[in-house]
A and B are shown apart, each in its own frame.
Chain A
């Protein structure tokens, strides 16, 4: 996905009981788009855009940038339209192989990320973020609170699967800062639309 211009997207905001936040985590494994500063290193992106502290970065054992494992987060560059997937430690020999800078990284050197020397000036763009396993809980709340964009059809499909318990714990839902009747939400959105989603604990 490549965005040539910043779009003003409809903004759907959920405020809900904190225990319900994990309901949204599975969206994060499929990927959500973040409007952010681009053309920076993965390291800078993690700290500046995702607000990851040193302790969190230490837990990120596998970093996949545009489908390729990254070993050096200081030199790999996040670009407009990049897909950045983050994972905690993985089991097995493959887990060891995919580890960032791991001893067995040579096992996958055919697909390892190599930065090409391209000029890139800092500006705003979109990056697709995927959070896997333990990082969903570690980094997901902050990301969701900041706001991410995704296709309306994906969001509607996700919402259709939510249980009654979720809706009981959902304190407020607003679309563009106005309370919204969820039964009419589907009419307000079409499948091809992008929507900005933010989720905050009460």
Chain B
């Protein structure tokens, strides 16, 4: 990974590809890479769909190696949805393949001079960019089938669906999985719209003939990887719970504690939760001949994904993740898993963020466009997005815009991005995450949030200030290590709980790169990333007022506990004081 592929889509005569040395970005990967390039090269006040914005696609530091769990990829830009910096990430095969092809990043930049849509093909022999208007408005599944017919089945694809071509705020960048299905998405923040603005429909990668990236110290690397895998397998979350039930295992427990947002965040309990729980989902999958234990990329040992078949036993979609089941399930009052799976498939093939889409549908339901619980109406709305109807254009640009269009006050967004599947009034630490993350309302950034802002009463696990600082440090270590290495976020439990597993992760990095990285070094990296992101947002016009939840979360009591979000604004402003 010693080079960056820059594609100037506005070059004379059509898009031009240039390979440049990594240079100042050496030693960065994943989120660190995307945020570094965006912070340095993109004017914060530019239009997200304009010439000055860039789309950066970056594998992690350990992607393309023999390391377990290193298949995550980051996609960065100025977000069309939030107006701030964005890093969205995804599983699938592309991270490994891109890294083995030698690229630290692909950067799409400039503004197209024509309406031609392009496909980019990258293999060991180089880069070929071709105009191909027959790809216009193809769904992701149809597009991938066409690429497979053209390039064979040893490829992987990075693509946008119709939503991305229409530059919608909820548009994703899709990544194919091991079975060459476009089931993995960098979903948040409208990154697909930026790819659409660059008139790039698909990037096809083929690493045939490319070796796995070799570590500096093979013996130490092999030993560290073994210890790392052993740590993941022995931890109850990564070794048992996630493989058996997937992330949707959270449904029952969140519902039980009254933190499961239901009917557009009206209440924290959903009567139909058991019907769409991870336990029920896994059981249904097994009975229909699907697989509830499946990795999204080669080398995944957690295997929290799965496949979902319809009632006739035919593949319908990947196993929907917790946030997807919630977004299209409880938040919309829908408890039919087959309908939710169909919604997941439609989101995948049209290229729409499942969280944003589910939140948007719930806002539309609150507006009276459909009744809560009407799954067929929800499906119809997603089709509207895919077809680009007038209504679809509104819905496809997210919950905030939809709320404005239909005069809805209760719109659960921060910085324009819809909240995921945890109510901030019940789990207030999550609310701090939603409020202060540079990414907008984002649960995956939670590992970067400290516990400092929360007052801990004498009755409940009083933490000394020193302990809070330690918590903060641990969380940042997890964030930096995970987001930059290409590791899946779910390693965090094992890493935080088991010091030897964290050490194994450090040893992987050190053995691969010949470093002597310590926990403190990783902390510094995490701080650097967050500072870049916060600085970009400030220059883009963000103020402390952007680090707030919608006001109704402070006033509207949330059943069954009748709580409100009561973290003080001044405390929110202290999150990133270090």
Contacts and interface: CB of A to CB of B under 8 A. Distances in A.
B451 A104 contact: yes
B561 A133 contact: no
B249 A90 contact: yes
A93 interface: yes
A61 B235 CA distance: 12
A67 B454 contact: no
B430 A97 contact: yes
Nearest to B274: A30
B279 A26 contact: yes
Given A29-B280, A91-B237, A112 B429 contact: no
B471 interface: yes
B2 interface: no
Contacts of B274: 26, 29-30
Contact of A110 (B236, B426, B451, B560): B426
A132 interface: yes
A136 interface: yes
A189 B249 CA distance: 33
A106 interface: yes
A64 interface: yes
A76 B257 CA distance: 16
A123 interface: no
Interface stretch (B4-12, B215-223, B239-247, B370-378): B239-247
B456 A106 contact: yes
Interface in B539-563: 560-561, 563
Nearest to A94: B422
Contacts of A172: none
Contact of A111 (B241, B447, B563): B563
B237 A89 contact: yes
Given A67-B560, A132-B253, A136-B279, A92 B259 contact: no
A130 B240 CA distance: 19
Contact of B426 (A22, A92, A111): A111
A91 B304 contact: yes
A68 B457 CA distance: 17
B576 interface: no
A111 B561 contact: yes
A93 B496 CA distance: 11
Contacts of B463: 106
Contacts of B460: 71, 105-106, 109, 112, 114
Contacts of A105: 460-461
B279 A109 contact: no
Interface residues of A, number: 44
Contact of A133 (B238, B278, B446): B278
Interface string B269-298: 000001001111001000100000000000
Interface residues of B, number: 56
Given A64-B253, A110-B561, A89 B236 contact: yes
Interface in B222-258: 235-238, 240-242, 244-245, 247, 249-250, 252-254, 256-258
A67 B425 contact: no
A94 to B, nearest CB: 5
Contacts, number: 156
B428 interface: yes
A26 B237 contact: no
Given A91-B242, A94-B427, A67 B256 contact: yes
B237 A134 contact: no
Interface string B423-452: 001111110110000000001001100010
B493 interface: yes
Nearest to A62: B253
A91 B252 contact: no
A91 B490 contact: yes
A3 interface: no
A87 B456 contact: no
Nearest to B429: A107
B24 interface: no
B244 A133 contact: yes
A168 to B, nearest CB: 15
A90 B253 contact: yes
A106 B449 CA distance: 13
B237 A108 contact: no
A139 interface: no
Contact of B493 (A71, A96, A163): A96
Which A-B residue pairs are the 5 nearest by beta carbons? A107-B429, A93-B446, A89-B236, A85-B256, A89-B237
29 contacts: A26-B274, A29-B252, A29-B280, A64-B257, A69-B257, A71-B461, A89-B235, A89-B241, A90-B237, A90-B249, A91-B242, A92-B489, A92-B490, A93-B443, A94-B250, A94-B254, A94-B422, A98-B253, A103-B471, A106-B429, A106-B454, A107-B430, A109-B428, A110-B426, A110-B561, A111-B427, A132-B249, A133-B244, A134-B244
Given A94-B254, A107-B454, A133-B278, 15 more contacts: A67-B561, A71-B461, A88-B236, A89-B241, A90-B249, A91-B304, A94-B430, A97-B427, A98-B253, A106-B463, A109-B454, A130-B252, A132-B253, A133-B279, A134-B241
